[in-house]
Amino acid sequence: MSPYFNPIESIASQTSGTDIPHVLAVMAQRYVGDNPPHGPVYRVTRDSEILKQDHHLYQFPIGSMFPELKEGQRVYAWAKLWVDQAQDFIFHVRCYGPVRLYHNGEKRFGSAPEEESEGAALIKLKVALLRGWNHFVLELGKNAAGGSGAEFGTGNRKNKPYHFLAPSTDREGEEGWIYTAPVDSALKSIPGASQAEASTGAEWLPSRGDALEESGGLQALYGHRPGASAYAWTTIVNNSAAVERVTIEGTAYGPISFVLEGSEIYSVSRRGDFSLQVDAKPGKQELLVQCIAREDGWGFQAELTSSKVELACPRRIHGYEGQWLYLGPFPADTQVDAAEYLMLDTIADGDGGSIFWTTDEPGANIRPFLENELFGRWNYPLGVTLFGLLETGSVLRRDDLLDYVSRHVEFATSTYAYSLWDRERYGAAGLNNQLSHIDSLDDCGSFGALAILADRIRPLKGAQPIFDDIAHYIMNEQDRMEDGALYRHIGVSPSMHNTMWCDDMYMSVPFLCRYAELTGDLRYIDEAARQLLLYKKYLFMPEQSIMSHVYDVNLGKQSRTTWGRGNGWVFFSLAVLLAVLPRENERYAEILSFYRELAEGYRKLQGIHGLWHQVLTDPESYEEASCTSMFMYGFALGVRHGWLEYQDPYVRAVLQGWEGLCDRAIDKRGNLYGVCKGSSWSYHNAYYKHDLGWNLNDTHGIGIVLLAGIETERMKEHLGL
């Protein structure tokens, strides 16, 4: 078995190369450096019937958009997508009428008549995406049966919930598709790059409206609402080194009050012109204006004239050039602390429903989008990655790592309520796409367990409702077999329907344990223990003392495939459970016995270099870092807690595993090799060996390696090694 790199490139080749704290620091720093903590990107999304749906495909209902559409006419929809690396990517399209798809000006797909119907099947399209901008144009028509429209978008809604951006130079930064009205003849050329809309020879919708300064106040945004209130928000930016006295003047269309940095500085009680002077400090100051509606109007128009000081939009909103953001309307006589909403992560209770900040143009809405590859995302492998970083920060006493993890988790928790609203309002959320649409254990349990631990470091905004919702989902909504065993009635793809995966032990058991600790309710630990024994019933292979990856519920049999990481998830979960399961629990003895059976089964399969293999029973399959780390983690905990009757073989296995990781899987820059990518399943080990390759720095493995190192160090300290 060849190593992943030349031995001189290994972290073990360095002077302190196998010193555990050193390796932890190098790996953690590499990860944080590669994934800076950028916040969300805010973009304008215009009111349109072309919206995402739950599965993150955009719908193009041109029949309802244009009831006058005739057979032979065409509607064009145009958008662009940025990708960081060239790649082949699977998109999905469903055709309700004639559809052609163009990518960067070249035709990639044309529908056949049998593919065009209301019950049309989903079609998978592989598109070779280029690094940089990729322009997509859909040509949509109406067939003889009256069918029209389509759905199109990402083929990977969980991990790549791509959102498209407006493609023209006229709408730079906006999210969404632009489209034509029905035309009788084809475009002279299909757009394949950013260009002005006028240069295409077509008129593109949705139309852009007038800003408030041109339309006369908040009535254009919120209508005639006597007694209602709303807020306008801007920043005063002083780019000089000294305090500058400036004048803000304009016209009030109703009562207004100016609040600078939390203090009211000026008010107007009636309609008319106004003027106020402000001492602008160097830098930025937040300015809020409360507006009250009267019978004859509401809102204001204002300007500041200075060569050194200006009014500027308080946050960067891509696709918006205005100076003010607006929040409203609120019911009459409602007390509102607008400062609560300045983080742009919280919806407000308005007059008629939930509301969020918007631009000064009716129909041009503001939405946050998560456009980071990893930071801020909520998914199960990141739950393990951040668990490892959290423990590393504690062990190394690195507050910067603890803060990084807290910020990542709070990115998701603080926007949870908003993301639920965003999904309801726009069809699919622009962030928290898995958390806002939980439909599997993958979506909630792993990251939820980590979030509970992160919340112990410092309270996280919006966290508790998430914990409660996840607990409710696992206990009451996730599909179960007749005996109560969790399983996947509906999977991500049809091949996953009606299956039970040993992976799901980690997606449920650690969360149930952490939630029991959080609430003091031992029912959740009891459920975790029950699930582990149910999974043993369906997936344990006693002749080898290891687990089958999958149980096929339809056929009532095991896949009998011996995938490394799937087994690792079970062993990891067992260790987490045993650490908190009371010894007096009625299932404790059986759980401990199961742990020992698996421990011996896994120990016997350790490879000659200290690593375990992708297919545990096949030493010719590649050496896999994540399962290696999970077995080490479980063994090391077992040594410390006295779960193992004979410790010496397991101590040696852990130490050999750490040497193997440092020699063969971690390079001197802290890169991690040999982590199996996300898996489907098969009845054949050949799939795992030949088709299921490994990724560099895959998040399924980074945190596990960190945790394995930490538990190895604790085991050594426990034994005095």
Could you report the per-residue pLDDT of 637-676, keeping only the tens digit for each?
A: 999 999 999 999 999 999 999 999 999 999 999 999 999 9
Closest C-alpha to 672, from 713, 635, 709, 647: 709
Residue 2 has pLDDT above 90, yes or no: no
Could you report the per-residue pLDDT of 154-209, keeping only the tens digit for each?
A: 999 999 999 999 999 999 999 999 999 999 999 999 999 999 999 999 999 999 87
Could you report the per-residue pLDDT of 415-459, keeping only the tens digit for each?
A: 999 999 999 999 999 999 999 999 999 999 999 999 999 999 999
Domain 22-34+374-719, CATH number (from 3.40.50.150, 1.50.10.10, 3.40.50.300, 3.90.1280.10): 1.50.10.10
Scanning the structure block, which residue is given the tokens 């930025």? Answer: 284
Q: Give the CATH class of 212-369.
A: mainly beta
pLDDT of residue 495: 85
Element (H, E) at 250: strand 244-252
The span from the CA of 535 to the CA of 550, in Å, is: 10
Instruction: Give the strands of the sheet with 87-95, arranged side by side.
Output: 57-60, 150-154, 87-95, 123-129
pLDDT of residue 216: 57
pLDDT of residue 494: 83
Residue 357 has pLDDT above 70, yes or no: yes
Arithmetic mean of pLDDT, 83-101: 97
Could you report the per-residue pLDDT of 564-580, keeping only the tens digit for each?
A: 999 999 999 999 999 99
Residue 214 has pLDDT above 70, yes or no: no
pLDDT of residue 3: 80
The span from the CA of 556 to the CA of 561, in Å, is: 15
Mean pLDDT of the chain: 95
Can you name the residues that pair with 95 across neighbouring β-strands? 116, 150
Spatial contact of 679 and 603, defined as CB atoms under 8 Å apart: no
Percent of the chain with pLDDT over 70: 99
Query: Would you place residue 78 in the very low, low, confident or very high pLDDT band (cuts 50, 70, 90)?
Result: very high
pLDDT of residue 119: 87
Arithmetic mean of pLDDT, 581-598: 97
Question: Residue 329, preceding bond cis, omega within 30 degrees?
Answer: yes
pTM exceeds 0.85, yes or no: yes
pLDDT of residue 247: 96
pLDDT of residue 479: 96
Scanning the structure block, which residue is given the tokens 């940025």? Answer: 82
Element (H, E) at 465: helix 463-472
Arithmetic mean of pLDDT, 119-127: 94
Percent of the chain with pLDDT over 90: 94
Could you report the per-residue pLDDT of 702-720, keeping only the tens digit for each?
A: 999 999 999 999 999 999 9
Arithmetic mean of pLDDT, 408-412: 98
Residue 546 has pLDDT above 90, yes or no: yes
Query: Would you place residue 210 in the very low, low, confident or very high pLDDT band (cuts 50, 70, 90)?
Result: low
Domain with CATH 1.50.10.10 in the chain: 22-34+374-719
Is it true that domain 41-200 has CATH number 1.10.10?
A: no
The span from the CA of 264 to the CA of 278, in Å, is: 12
Residue 609 has pLDDT above 90, yes or no: yes
Residue 296, helix vs strand vs coil? coil
Domain with CATH 2.60.120 in the chain: 41-200, 212-369
pLDDT of residue 149: 97
